[in-house]
Chains A and B, each alone.
Chain A
Amino acid sequence: KAGVTQTPRYLIKTRGQQVTLSCSPISGHRSVSWYQQTPGQGLQFLFEYFSETQRNKGNFPGRFSGRQFSNSRSEMNVSTLELGDSALYLCASSLYGQGENNEQFFGPGTRLTVL
């Protein structure tokens, strides 16, 4: 089975712009979670989508949004970029979703740099 893929792998934007990141989960997985990883804050949960519905959300401003399509692919959008949004954005897919004893499978991430 192909793993989780994320595009693009690297992205450079300027303050005020918006960005869309894409994630393709493992075939058959219905859950996609997004995380922001920075050296200072570590791994922070953004949101989880399960069968096209947002099931869980972390403590991020409304500038961060996402969606999931019927084929389980997910996109994450960040509007009005700030310098502090520079981070590695990780996507993880799971067969049954977060929680329980479910393993999450992570993609390689998208490295976003905001100038």
Chain B
Amino acid sequence: AQSVTQLGSHVSVSEGALVLLRCNYSSSVPPYLFWYVQYPNQGLQLLLKYTTGATLVKGINGFEAEFKKSETSFHLTKPSAHMSDAAEYFCAVSYTGGFKTIFGAGTRLFVKA
């Protein structure tokens, strides 16, 4: 069975600091991995996704994530946090032949001035 674990329900960083949001997945077949972001009072929007090929995936707003099969991880990073990055971030997994996308519990990112 597929599952997603996001470590840390809340992460706080200072403006300009590195952002690291952790995501580990469990899948018996090659996964497709996603990061979505939800700004206050809005729906989710796709930040980036991993399908096949290059393991380092670049997304919008300067975010990137690296697929590490050996660690079953897909952590999201951004070199320098901006106040506008404050939001909730969701990691998600799906797979070939499946008709379901499984979302993690979410990590709320706080950015301090």
Contact = CB atoms under 8 A, between A and B. Distances in A.
B34 A103 contact: yes
Max chain A Cβ within 10 angstroms of own Cβ: one of B32, B36, B99: B99
A108 B43 contact: yes
A43 B106 contact: yes
A45 interface: yes
Interface of B: 32, 34, 36, 41-46, 49, 51, 90, 94-101, 103, 105-106
A98 B93 CA distance: 10
Interface of A: 4, 42-43, 45, 48, 55-56, 90, 92, 97-109
Contacts, number: 60
Contacts of B90: 43
Contacts of A97: 99
Contacts of A107: 43
A104 B42 contact: no
5 contacts: A45-B103, A100-B32, A100-B94, A101-B94, A105-B45
A92 B43 contact: yes
Given A98-B99, A101-B51, A105-B45, 8 more contacts: A45-B100, A45-B103, A55-B99, A99-B94, A106-B36, A106-B44, A108-B41, A108-B42
